[in-house]
Amino acid sequence: MQKKLTSRIFAGILAMGLLSGCGIKNTENSEDSKNTIKIAYLPITHSLAVLEEAQELENETGTKIELVKFGAWSELLDALNSGRVDGASVLMELAMKSRQEGVGIKAVALGHHDGNVIVVSNAINSASDLKGKTFAIPHRQSSHNILLHETLAKGGLTTDDITITELAPTEMPSALASGQIDGYCVAEPFGAMGVSIDAGKVLYTSEELWEDSICCGLVLTDQFIENRPEDAKQFVENYKKAGNALDAETAMTTAKQYFSQSEEVLATSLQWISYQDLDITEDTYNSLTEKVKSYGLSDNPPAYSEFVINNLD
Ligand code: ZN
């Protein structure tokens, strides 16, 4: 167990909420809501495939994706778990936890491949240098937490050897620069931001720690899948097409439209991630559930057969 996990979530949520200025608009016209698919997301490069798809789907089919932006995972989960949105691009572990607690959702695709880095202060040169240091992750239920465990193992350390803190992604680069923390792992582009302001450097990329890692997933509510099967099928097909279309150039064009970071930060970030072939394979999912169990994130994650659907036929 991570006994030293300190709760800084609330400060983080507050900071993110102020930044995001987001919310859900009421769809007053029922015709509108019939043709609209509401998808929740956070403004991170990990959700780029759904942002890319949103630009294309309405042109092709007349069905509109209403992107609902959130500033923090906890707010996004509230909307997803209460059925205020039809789906979300979300950390897979958080979605698994919701499913485990009885929320009717299915994972229908990956968010991306790879795409995470372990950023550490310039004074740290190996995993074993993290002994006695403070490391930030966005949420206990995340692949960032798993990647931290893998990093510590490389240095012969465990979570007992460091202090783990939860911080909002936006706070991490400055917290590293000020020395408040010694390292972090979080959704992009916040790793790239830390590097670009020279607060730290990359110690490991995710593929050096965990081959075929899973991080974010696209999930849909059971209600949406059951009530609008054709829309759900088309949405998932187009999502995967959008992912396949995200080569380096297209990813940069779309990222610049949605994110306020500089082109330099986005370019650094996008070199670590890919969006092709976003099916969730049984092997990679089972490897995730093994890690979730062995690192104490959850004792009872949902099985592949009850949680994952790759084709809505
Ligand atoms: Zn991710």
- Tens digits of residue pLDDT in 51-60: 999 987 666 7
Say if residue 152's pLDDT is above 70: yes
Report pLDDT for 18: 37
Place of tokens 């859900």: 24
User: Quick one: 305 exposed, middle or buried, by C-beta within 10 A (0-12, 13-18, 19+)?
Assistant: exposed
More confident residue, 3 or 152: 152
Q: What is the mean pLDDT of the chain?
A: 90
Q: Please answer whether residues 163 and 134 qualify as being in contact, where contact means their C-beta atoms are separated by less than 8 angstroms.
A: yes
Q: Which residues pair with 308 in a beta bridge?
A: 107
- Structural domains in the chain, sorted by start: 6-10+115-209 (3.40.190.10), 13-114+213-307 (3.40.190.10)
Report pLDDT for 14: 36
Distance, CA 133 to ligand 1 centroid (Å)? 25
Distance, CA 190 to ligand 1 centroid (Å)? 12
Report pLDDT for 312: 87
Report pLDDT for 2: 41
User: Quick one: 257 exposed, middle or buried, by C-beta within 10 A (0-12, 13-18, 19+)?
Assistant: exposed
Average pLDDT over residues 178-194: 97
Task: Give the whole-angstrom CA distance, residue 296 versus residue 2.
Answer: 8
Distance, CA 172 to ligand 1 centroid (Å)? 16
Q: Which residues pair with 118 in a beta bridge?
A: 204
Of 53, 147, 122, 112, nearest to 272 by C-alpha is 112
Of 79, 125, 88, 120, nearest to 106 by C-alpha is 88
- Percent of the chain predicted with pLDDT > 70: 88
Task: Give the whole-angstrom CA distance, residue 57 versus residue 60.
Answer: 5
Average pLDDT over residues 172-186: 98
Distance, CA 89 to ligand 1 centroid (Å)? 9
Report pLDDT for 3: 38
Task: Give the whole-angstrom CA distance, residue 27 versus residue 146.
Answer: 39
